[in-house]
Amino acid sequence: MATASVAFKSREDHRKQLELEEARKAGLAPAEVDEDGKEINPHIPQYMSSAPWYLNAERPSLKHQRKWKSDPNYTKSWYDRGAKIFQAEKYRKGACENCGAMTHDAKSCMERPRKKGAKWTNMHIAPDEKIETFELDYDGKRDRWNGYDASTYARVIERYEARDEARRKYLKEQQLKKLEEKNSKNEGEGEGEGGEISDEEDDDDALKVDEAKVDESKQMDFAKVEKRVRTTGGGSTGTVRNLRIREDTAKYLLNLDVNSAYYDPKTRSMREDPLPDADPNEKFYEGDNQYRMSGQALEFKQLNIHAWEAFDKGQDIHMQAAPSQAELLFKNYKVIKEKLKSKTKDTIMEKYGNAATEEEIPMELLLGQSERQVEYDRAGRIIKGMETSLPKSKYEEDVFINNHTSVWGSWWKDHQWGYKCCKQTIRNSYCTGAAGIEAAEAATDLMKSNIARKASSEDAPAPAQEKKHVTWGTDVPEDLVLDEKLLTEALKKEEEKRREEKDERKRKYNVRWNDEVTAEEMEAYRMKRVHHDDPMKDFLN
């Protein structure tokens, strides 16, 4: 017997617990009950209610393993739709300006906008709606059917029943109409009308709707096998129809050669022909690819290809989204293609004739002769007799707009295109003809004369005299007078400057340059300058 593992303070407590359990088994002691008042079975280990000695053993401690606390604020109720709480008799401040209810404002009012709201008319005050706020629990927030009224489904049932009733009424009217037409005929006709009467009875039976009749498509599924098919492209549960008769030879037994067509046991398919060398008239099975390339499978493949190509060319067509539209467009395409093909054939036969017919071909066509005279030069170019046809582009040619007699781009001037007929450079302008050309030339002449008059009226600026700085020139004028004292100081400065250039350690941190050069300084620079062409330059220093 499994017992609970309980820790006791001493051996005495353990002994008392064992005696109490023995007395309970014998019926001499009351049974132990839990918090709910239920009797605890001593043969079942009480792991949840037992606790170590250092905890309170009278109450369970594993509160985190059960829903021990429930929030009383959670509810599963829903909004009371359409409920009203108070009907006011006059407009109240802060209410909706349109209907007069206090529970919403004019922006969120669901009533029709009145010509004059309840705020100004103080009439037809709408009652206040019942505003409720719920605090839903975890399940209540995710309940899709929370607040659904099951009685609303009765409307769906009523709609379907009304449809069925209208159908039965229509069928009954059709039957009565057929019966009246049949009774209106003469009854004394011969036996030849027996077949017609039977056909009319068949039509009457076709009008009746027998709901107990089994659909023919269901009756044809006697050989259907429901199973899971695992294909190489991924498994899927579907319907497999066993169309092979048991007396037929299996695919993999048609050719026992190891190197013959491959048989896939999972999909039970053999794509290639197992007997390629056999007589086609004697072969019953030519491989699964034969089924894909013939019959309706080939038509469906062509339909898909047409849908793809039409979609690539910008046509709004999709085989899966709108299959009926795709099939209708494919049928129209085939009809147009056949018409174009027959038209092309008729045009060729009309031009060149048909050799299969017995009609004689004219001599002009046989010998290639005609009454047209053509002259050629020595290089083989046509001089006279056959005018060369200009190739036409895909754009519109010789289309005149706005009363123009020439096309846009037939005239060019000052890097602008225009019309030759009126010499205008604005494309959307209206043609003015010869008068417009004369007016444009007059305006141009006037503008030129105004420009010339303005240019002549303005005084020509005096020519700027070029000032030559002697200090920067190469030739020294003869009338230049230099101060001997300033020249001596300039020579000293030039020597100090050259020393500083040789020894950079003597150069100061903050160097200030003076851009103004005097005639004495320029003369000192010329005197101290090294002439590379001078043969005595090495003996100067």
Beta bridge partners of 524: none
Q: What is the DSSP string of 114-141?
A: PSS-HHHH--SPPPEE--------HHHH
Question: Residue 1: what pLDDT?
Answer: 40
| Calpha distance 374→384 (Å, rounded) | 6
| Calpha distance 308→314 (Å, rounded) | 10
Question: Residue 69: what pLDDT?
Answer: 59
Nearest to 100 by CA among 130, 121, 131: 121
pLDDT by 10-residue block (mean), the chain, 541 residues: 48 73 65 56 49 56 56 74 90 94 94 94 93 84 86 92 94 91 72 52 52 45 50 51 70 88 90 88 86 85 92 90 92 94 92 76 69 82 73 78 88 89 89 88 89 79 51 59 84 81 64 73 80 71 57
Beta strand ranges found along 33-184 (DSSP E): 84-86, 128-129
Entry pTM: 0.26
Buried b (16+ CB within 10 A) or exposed e, 376-395: eeeeeeeeeeeeeeeeeeee
Which residue's structure tokens are 């190891």? 258
Nearest to 98 by CA among 87, 110, 114, 84: 114
Question: Residue 210: what pLDDT?
Answer: 47
Question: Residue 189: what pLDDT?
Answer: 60
Could you give the C-alpha distances from 452 to 178, 293, 462, in angstroms and in order? 104, 87, 20
Question: Residue 2: what pLDDT?
Answer: 40
On the CB side of 333, CA atoms within 13 Å amount to 14
Question: Residue 50: what pLDDT?
Answer: 54
For CA atoms 380, 381, 384, 386, the dihedral sign is: positive
Question: Residue 262: what pLDDT?
Answer: 92
Which one-letter amino acid corresponds to residue 28?
Answer: L
Structure tokens that stand for 223 in this block:
């050989």
| Calpha distance 167→209 (Å, rounded) | 9
Question: Residue 45: what pLDDT?
Answer: 47
Nearest to 485 by CA among 523, 516, 529: 523
